[in-house]
Amino acid sequence: AQSVSQHNHHVILSEAASLELGCNYSYGGTVNLFWYVQYPGQHLQLLLKYFSGDPLVKGIKGFEAEFIKSKFSFNLRKPSVQWSDTAESFCAVNNQGGKLIFGQGTELSVKP
Amino acid sequence: DTGVSQNPRHKITKRGQNVTFRCDPISEHNRLYWYRQTLGQGPEFLTYFQNEAQLEKSRLLSDRFSAERPKGSFSTLEIQRTEQGDSAMYLCASSLVFDRPEEFDTQYFGPGTRLTVL
């Protein structure tokens, strides 16, 4: 069965620090990969997605993620976080459409 | 705002009661998904529709759960004889999918309905 693993459950950073959140998935076929974010009091929003092509994808608010097929990974990065990046982030995968399989989420707290 | 909307936003019910939630997808989106999210976990897939056809149901969706999308627009999720274990956030998402294989499924989520079963 497909599964998604997010290694960091809670990350605490100071403003301007760099961020990398780990995401690994288990699935042998072709996948689409997503990062969703949920800011306090708001609903899930799409941060970025990978379907094909360039494995380095850029999303909103300066976030990017790199798909490394050999490692089954899709880590999320941001060079310099801001207080407004405080949120919970979810990595998700599907088999080229259909249901999403989500990781359990990483809560990011950015200290001003 | 023409995003996904869900009603009600909160529902408190007593164990054994039936509840129904509604989801209105983004206009013209042909796919509609239901997920459930409990505290500290990512959303878990329940079921999805393409137009009015229910294409997949999770094993999580017991006989007490039923979902419909009768006209291919809004959808309802009903839970009969609620149990305390049904307490969760119920999320709806919609997407527009074409037949071409390169057109992939990007799901947009609503605010959710938080169910509390006492």
- The per-residue pLDDT for range B80-117, each reduced to its tens digit, is 999 999 999 999 999 998 766 545 788 999 999 999 99
For residue B25, give the DSSP letter. Answer: P
Nearest chain B alpha carbon to A5: B42
Do residue B106 and residue A45 have CB atoms under 8 angstroms apart?
A: no
Tallying the residues shown for chain A, one arrives at 112
Those residues whose C-beta lies under 8 Å from the C-beta of residue B100, and which sit 6 or more positions away, are none
Q: Quick check: A105 and B104 CB within 8 A?
A: no
What average pLDDT does range A84-93 have in this prediction?
Answer: 96
Interface contact flag, B109 A96, Cβ < 8 Å: no
Q: What is the pLDDT of residue A75?
A: 97
| CA–CA separation, A36 and A18 (whole Å) | 19
B53 chain-A contacts, CB cut-off 8 A: none
| B16 contacts B81 by C-beta, under 8 angstroms | yes
Judged by DSSP in three states, A61 sits in: helix
pLDDT per position as a tens digit, B27-85? 989 999 999 999 989 999 999 999 999 999 998 888 999 999 998 899 999 999 999 99
